[in-house]
Amino acid sequence: MTTASTSLERTYRYLRLSLVGVVAMISVSIAAWIGGNGPLGSISAAYYTSAGPIFVGGVFAVGLALLALSGHSLGQVSLDLAAIAAPVVAIVPAPVFGGDVRGLVVDCAGAPAPCVPAAFVGAVHNGMTALVVTGAVGWVAALVVAAVQRTLTGRTIWALVVAGAIIAGATAWWLLAPDSFLRAGHVVAAASFFAFIAVAALASALDAARAGEPGYRLVYTIIAFGILADLLVLLGVVIASGVGFAVPEPWGVSPVFLGEAVALALFAAFWIVQTIETWDSPDPALRAPS
């Protein structure tokens, strides 16, 4: 005989499963575009294609879901910080070379390639204006809500300080060095997002070890170090390309595209494992600190 699931349990299950669903939707949308138009230089370059609305909307949905999965553990703090990085990934597109996206005219307005084409710069600034204002209001609201519901612990304060620093730093970078922000903002935000997910996976591995679950510990460890290794490889590719080294393209596919695909797959794997592990948990949030 099984006990009926509570509304809270179902909500958390559906949130975790929705994260896997978003990855699947983005993947299908991009695959459909590639099937009719040819390869992309990166998954992020989908922003400039007819798959762009699904890509941007999907990344925003991921950010909201991560914020909704609230808690107090190190893993939860990492997910909250990843949620802050996600909208920047959606709003600020990846710089592209001519030829990265079939049919896209890459007008850098005199700046060296790769760049965010001039036609998209206005949308970036509009989006960042909305994000910065909303982020500042949200930060204050998070502080007030934590105080009202008596969850303003030391770890919560630390998380708010880090989140505030990220918001302030991104805002200053955008306002004071907009050209630099356009060239590197997407890359920094995406790398930060996946790094925070890797930390969450490591936290889950530690929790699994404390709970005597070696199988989950192993899987979470593989996911965490897989993401970190993938980020390092992508960094190497970016640096090599920047100094003019011809980076091989396995099977004719951009190594950046492959690296991003691996990161997305590991992200989805993390949430599949989380859903399985916490399916019957009476407290469906990530484990609280012991």
Residue 235 in domain: no
Count of C-beta atoms within a 10 Å radius of residue 84: 25
- 207: Cβ–Cβ under 8 A, 6 or more apart, which residues? 73, 75, 286, 287
pLDDT at 4: 55
pTM equals 0.89
Average pLDDT for 260-270: 96
Q: What is the DSSP letter of 97?
A: -
Residue 224 in domain: no
Residue 130 in domain: yes
Average pLDDT for 201-207: 92
Average pLDDT for 43-51: 94
Residue 212 in domain: no
Average pLDDT for 29-49: 92
Residue 208 in domain: no
Average pLDDT for 268-287: 78
Average pLDDT for 172-200: 95
Classify 248 as helix, strand or coil.
coil
Residue 285 in domain: no
pLDDT at 103: 84
Please tell me the total number of residues recorded for the chain in this structure. 290
Please, what is the average pLDDT of the chain? 88
Q: Across the strands, what pairs with 96?
A: 115
pLDDT at 100: 81
Residue 42 in domain: yes
Average pLDDT for 224-253: 82
* Structural domain for 153, as ranges: 8-199
User: What is the distance between the alpha carbons of residues 98 and 40, in angstroms, rounded to a whole number?
Assistant: 11
Q: Is residue 242 very low, low, confident or very high in pLDDT (cuts 50, 70, 90)?
A: low
Q: Is residue 72 very low, low, confident or very high in pLDDT (cuts 50, 70, 90)?
A: low
- Whether pLDDT at 2 is above 70: no
pLDDT at 209: 92
Q: Is residue 288 very low, low, confident or very high in pLDDT (cuts 50, 70, 90)?
A: very low
Look at the chain and report how many structural domains it folds into: 1
- Whether pLDDT at 265 is above 60: yes
Residue 242 in domain: no
Q: Which long-range contacts (CB under 8 A, 24 or more apart) does 271-279 make?
A: 271/16, 271/17, 271/19, 271/20, 272/20, 273/216, 273/219, 273/220, 273/223, 274/16, 274/204, 275/13, 275/16, 275/17, 275/20, 277/204, 277/208, 277/213, 277/216, 278/12, 278/13, 278/16, 279/13
